[in-house]
Structure 1
């Protein structure tokens, strides 16, 4: 789930709990959800933990997660990401 979607549907009290667990403020998380700030790798991991995996590190750091967390690379989540049109062309060629 995208953080923006998750954050918009989260009650204020839960937002406060998540911010506290992540050692940051609700305002800073609002900025990340709004696309005004980028989550640090450490904060991305904390958000993933505090949302029980509903929001992932991959989703929070889509352009560099594989460089930061190579242990997350697998067949379902290759690195670098394969574009959808490349996948379709690969299937058409077989």
Structure 2
């Protein structure tokens, strides 16, 4: 989830709050999950990918299990093995 951390670093506090709200969550929740190293919920991952304009993808956010949540991504140009993180 380093991509998300870096993405948020480039924003002001107000922009982070607005981004989280656009994703249907709070910046507190996002920071807590980053701090604990825990995966974000599937719906939140989809929203982050959308709101970040794919700068941060679902594969970045859930590198170990994205293929279980979004099997359609495996068929759509994912030429790496499901366990590999896509840069």
Measured against the shorter chain, the TM-score band is 0.7 to 0.9
Unaligned runs of 5+ in 2: none
Task: In structure 1, list runs of 5 or more residues that go unmatched.
Answer: 83-94
Q: Give a deviation string over 1:47-69, Cα, whole Å, max 9, x none.
A: 11111111100011111001111
| TM-score normalized with structure 1 length | 0.73
- How do residues 8-87 of structure 1 correspond to structure 2 at under 5 angstroms? 8-73=9-74, 74-81=77-84
Structure whose alpha-carbon radius of gyration is higher: 1
- TM-score with structure 2 setting the length: 0.78
- Please give the root-mean-square deviation of Cα atoms over the aligned residues, in Å: 2.1
